[in-house]
Amino acid sequence: MAAGAGALAAAPGEVAQGVQELAEVVSARPVGAYTHLVLRAPEAARRARPGQFVACGTGDSGMLLRRSLSLHAADPEAGTLEVVVAAAGPGTRLLAAKRPGDTVSTTAPLGRPFPLPAPGTPAVVIGGGYGAAPLPWLAGQLVATGSRVVGIVGAASADRLLGTSAVDEATALDGVADAVVITTDDGSLGAPGRVTDALPEVLHELAELGEPVVYACGPMPMLRAVHTTTREALGDGASTWLAVEESMACGVGVCMTCVLPVAAVDDDGVTRTRMLRACTAGPVFDGDALRWDAIGAAEHLRGGALVPDDAVGAPKATGGH
Amino acid sequence: MSTAIMDLPNTSVDLSTSIGSLHLPAPTMTASGCAAAGAELAPYLDLSELGAVVTKSVMRQARSGRATPRMAETPSGMLNSIGLQGPGVESFAAHDLPVLEAAGARVVASIAGGDPEEFGELAARLARESAVGALEVNISCPNVANRGLVFACDPGASRAVLEAVSEAVRASGRPDLPVLAKLSPDVTDLVAVARACTDGGATGLTAINTTLGMVVDPVTLRPQLAGVTGGTSGPAIRPIAVRCVWQLTAAKRAGVLPDVPVVGAGGVASGADALQLIAVGACAVQVGTATFADPSAPVRVARELGAELARRGATRLADVVGIAHEPGRGLR
């Protein structure tokens, strides 16, 4: 586990108690390539914190499983949750097509939120594509406790960006974070390259104010690169908190499909790896706890994770599960 | 979908039922592997209002389960390939069972093993736990590397497992602990396997487990699941479950099978779905995959079932069990 975790004022949050609400769509508008939805879910709005997610039903579509979307914001007074939907398949297309007055079955807030560092700790918030959704909310909380916050948002191309005023003011980090860096793989906006190309310089700058903590949300290869780059820049003790996008059937911890190999120190002081549910143990993980040697290790599985041989209860050479 | 369960009042219909010595005030249970340890559902329903919590299958040792992806969505269904992930029986007894007991839940402990001996050992161990109200013997999990280990595909293997379990239960000091055998639909002669289970000592049957399926990733043209094949569940398999419960009940009525309780499972998402399984002979139903979309589903289904029965003028669930087999017996 990260030695840098000692710098954090709060341990990762307790397991969330979600609530089911039939949420009315208050507003729906396009934001770049995505759709921003405001959902009336008063009880969830009262409980939610940055890094948590909402599991959305697709009604009578015949698709049984919920779509888990990270929360962009929650307004306890208005009783609303906000999400940014990327229409990636039939389920998310259906959600992205929602209009004001429609309803969405919601279970929220789910998962553990981003842990906040000691007041004043400098921070970087990094988002890939729609992964930037929770960053303005998180950045606002960090700034409010005296952190200097730099945002880095990136995407393959300008049309897939989120979190910058170049795409949309209301969902942007601009004006919340102290500075925002934009990268695109094809150079169509901001600096050409990846978010991690911009990261070392940002980290070295912030390090003059104190040991920075890094938050990131996006696809697994990006999270891996953020973890690696941060350690290269700041050393092995650097803190990274990574929100994963594992595919989930339930979001509430009962289906066991969204597991990842995660190392943790047990009560007896021994570090052991277990297949932990991203929905209840995550979606925010300590970057040092994720078993990168097993995540994404089988290319044909497109982002899946293997069970490390040393994991608790791993299959023996002769058998398999 | 996801109607707040508070909006569905309990009706005056008597929904109580029994699985041998285990009395259930309500006829719906969770389905094994669809409610984790049970406590995960506590924010969404009252565990004591359920007929019973059926636990994820417990094995002797901790087990990591399979690599991911473990899930693929299919039309009106899904495939899962978890691989019996769990902490092992001692952790289950020390951590999970007390939580269920404190919540007032009735517990059906699902057990799984690699051989009859492991099943027997687990039965003996869990019979010692007073919080366990029945055992469900998972002889039909499709997600094991060696398909030869799907005991429920072979009458002889099924009988050997049930003999080991029932022997352990008889020796446990709780000889009336109900033992449900969970059957697979992936067999040629379901009644023959069921008969092998009751010959081996099963005092009840659960039908059905998932049915083996597979999905190919459209991009890679490789199996989408890390485990290659997976168990298909959800409304897509409901007609198979209804057929299986019908066959088992018909066999009981014909005297081919002993008169043991049958618990129906497979694609139940509503009270009307549950009523189908009850009409063909199930005395209780399990709600599995529907829980993934609506974690309150196991309680909601019971309330909807009460409303379905009240609407038809029935006053007792027991009056409707198996009614599909009796053309002359009807409700309004």
Are the Cβ atoms of A301 and B69 closer than 8 angstroms?
A: yes
For the four alpha carbons of B9, B12, B13 and B14, in that order, the dihedral sign comes to positive
Taking CA atoms, B255 is separated from B183, B248, B264, in Å, by: 19, 11, 20
Verify that A84 and A122 share a domain, yes or no.
Answer: no
**Neighbour order of strands in the sheet with B132-138:** B28-30, B284-287, B262-265, B204-207, B179-183, B132-138, B107-111, B53-54
Q: Which residues of A touch B291 (CB under 8 A)?
A: 250, 254
The last residue of a domain, from among A61, A89, A110: A110
Which of B170, B87, B58, B168 lies closest to B120 in space, CA to CA?
B168
User: Is this model's pTM higher than 0.90 or not?
Assistant: yes
Q: How confident is the model at residue B149 (pLDDT cuts 50, 70, 90)?
A: low
Give a yes or no: residue A318 inside a domain.
no
pLDDT in tens, B209-262: 999 999 999 988 999 999 999 999 999 999 999 999 999 999 999 999 999 999
Verify that A259 and A122 share a domain, yes or no.
Answer: yes
Q: Distance (Å) from the C-alpha of residue A127 to the closest C-alpha of chain B?
A: 24
B34 noted as active-site residue: no
Closest partner residue to A304 (CB to CB) among B1, B78, B226 is B226
Give the DSSP H or E segment for A173: none
Say how many CA atoms lie within 13 Å of A312 toward its Cβ.
20
Mutate to test the interface with B, among A254, A279, A309, A312 (most CBs of B within 10 A): A254
Q: How confident is the model at residue B148 (pLDDT cuts 50, 70, 90)?
A: low
CA geometry: angle B204, B207, B210, nearest 5 deg: 140
Give a yes or no: residue A250 inside a domain.
yes
The last residue of a domain, from among A58, A75, A110: A110
Q: For tokens 């023959």, what's the residue?
A: B192
Are the Cβ atoms of B35 and A311 closer than 8 angstroms?
A: no
Which of B193, B181, B186, B224 lies closest to B72 in space, CA to CA?
B224
With a pLDDT cut of 90, the percent of chain B lying above it is 89
The last residue of a domain, from among A110, A139, A171: A110
The whole-number pLDDT of residue B144 equals: 67
Task: For chain A, 321 residues long, give each residue's pLDDT as a single digit of tens.
Answer: 333 333 333 334 455 689 999 999 999 999 999 999 999 999 999 999 999 999 999 988 889 999 999 999 999 999 999 999 999 999 999 999 999 999 999 999 999 999 999 999 999 999 999 999 999 999 999 999 999 999 999 999 999 999 999 999 999 999 999 999 999 999 999 999 999 999 999 999 999 999 999 999 999 999 999 999 999 999 998 999 999 998 889 999 999 999 999 999 999 999 999 999 999 999 999 999 999 999 988 777 777 899 999 999 998 754 556
Verify that A90 and A131 share a domain, yes or no.
Answer: no
CATH number at residue A279: 3.40.50.80
Verify that A105 and A128 share a domain, yes or no.
Answer: no
Are the Cβ atoms of B71 and A62 closer than 8 angstroms?
A: no
The whole-number pLDDT of residue A16 equals: 63
Q: How confident is the model at residue B141 (pLDDT cuts 50, 70, 90)?
A: confident
- The number of distinct structural domains making up chain A is 2
Residue A228: give the domain boundaries.
Answer: 1-9+114-313
Verify that A161 and A130 share a domain, yes or no.
Answer: yes
Q: Is the pLDDT of residue B323 over 70?
A: yes
Taking CA atoms, A114 is separated from A49, A142, A181, A233, A286, in Å, by: 8, 11, 21, 22, 10
Closest partner residue to B67 (CB to CB) among A20, A60, A307 is A307
Could you give the CA distance from residue B235 to residue A62 in angstroms, rounded to a whole number? 9
- For residue A139, report the phi and psi dihedrals to the nearest 5 degrees: -60, -40
Q: Distance (Å) from the C-alpha of residue A80 to the closest C-alpha of chain B?
A: 18
The whole-number pLDDT of residue B3 equals: 46
The whole-number pLDDT of residue A15 equals: 54
Verify that A70 and A190 share a domain, yes or no.
Answer: no
Give a yes or no: residue A321 inside a domain.
no
Give a yes or no: residue A319 inside a domain.
no
Identified catalytic residue from B34, B141, B153, B197: B141
DSSP A111-140: SBPPPPBSTT--EEEEEEGGGGTTHHHHHH
Q: Which residues of A touch B78 (CB under 8 A)?
A: 64-65, 249
Give a yes or no: residue A320 inside a domain.
no
CATH placement of domain B5-325? 3.20.20.70
Q: How confident is the model at residue B5 (pLDDT cuts 50, 70, 90)?
A: low
Q: Which two tokens stand for residue B60?
A: 């002797």
Q: Which residues of B touch A105 (CB under 8 A)?
A: 1-2, 294
Mutate to test the interface with A, among B59, B68, B222, B299 (most CBs of A within 10 A): B68
Verify that A23 and A131 share a domain, yes or no.
Answer: no
Verify that A28 and A124 share a domain, yes or no.
Answer: no
Give a yes or no: residue A14 inside a domain.
no
Q: Which residues of B touch A107 (CB under 8 A)?
A: 44, 295
Verify that A66 and A183 share a domain, yes or no.
Answer: no
